[in-house]
Amino acid sequence: MKIKFLICIMVVTISIFVIIFELFPNENSENNNPFSDEIKKTKLDIPSLFNIYGFEDQFEIINGKKTWVDVKFELNPENNALYEKLRYSSDENTIVIFPIFTSLAYSEPGFYTYYRGECDEECITLEIQKESPLNFFSSGNGFQVLQLLGYQSISDIEVDQNPDILKQYEKVILLHNEYVTKKEFDAITSHPNVIYLYPNALYAEIKVDYNTNLMTLYRGHNFPESEISNGFDWKFDNSNLEYNTNCVDMGFDRIDNGWMLNCYPERAIHQSKVLLEMIKNF
């Protein structure tokens, strides 16, 4: 009996220690890091309708200030009621086009290395990468916010390979799709209801070879002649507005096949309930 009693005491004691360890893990334990399966995140103190995190070692010092290069947005439970009003519903039949070609053009070395005169024409032919960083030039904030609100998305590669895919949707939301193919340009401009959410969309034409997996700047952005601005000679080009990033007097202008925002909303889109409501209600 005494031995059985001691065994019971030992079992109970071990169980208590296990419970304590699980409740209060070692500070150096990997389990103590809620983001142990990814780069450590830091919650940023930025006014927003969402929680924003910066990633360790992914920042630059600009004008003496720490500026995050890549951020991640997550839903803030305190705003669940608001999200329900803004959330995409299946009966809206809307699609967002993510700008992989444009993101690639802004990579280094890339198109802008060539524009700066730091590289010859070898920099205007680039290998296509289907994974794209979510940054300022690829509409990273806007894309994440719309995803969190449930919007469906496709890439511009999918649109180029199957232009008729846009006919399946009642509304198309364009991000910073600055560099597009002629097939993509035609598919977008012929759709009856497009929200041009970022100025400078449809600015330059590229050629894509899927056999070699390469894309090449073809026309536009002062190439191949300096006097060529918009590569499609598009009359609704609003690239002059892309440097308006404050969006103080934000509004949409009506064009033949939709609406164009008059500022670059990468900072405003995660802060403005009004903008998100307008996107949903068009």
> What is the SS3 assignment for 213?
coil
Residue 180 reports pLDDT greater than 90: yes
Tell which wins on pLDDT, 48 or 39: 48
Spatial neighbors of 255 by CB under 8 A, at least 6 apart, are 196, 236
pLDDT of residue 187: 98
Q: Whole-number mean pLDDT of the chain?
A: 85
Question: Distance between CA atoms of 223 and 103, rounded to whole angstroms?
Answer: 19
Residue 29 reports pLDDT greater than 50: no
Closest listed residue to residue 42, CA positions, set 55, 51, 31, 32: 55
Query: What's the pTM?
Result: 0.81
pLDDT of residue 238: 97
**CA torsion angle 264 265 267 269 (round to 10):** -170
Closest listed residue to residue 119, CA positions, set 128, 101, 131, 107: 107
pLDDT of residue 132: 73
**CA torsion angle 191 96 164 206 (round to 10):** 90
Mean pLDDT value of segment 101-129: 95
Q: Which two tokens stand for residue 11?
A: 């079992």
What does DSSP assign to residue 138?
T
- pLDDT of 187-204, one tens digit each? 999 999 999 999 999 999
What does DSSP assign to residue 36?
T
pLDDT of residue 23: 36
Mean pLDDT value of segment 112-128: 95
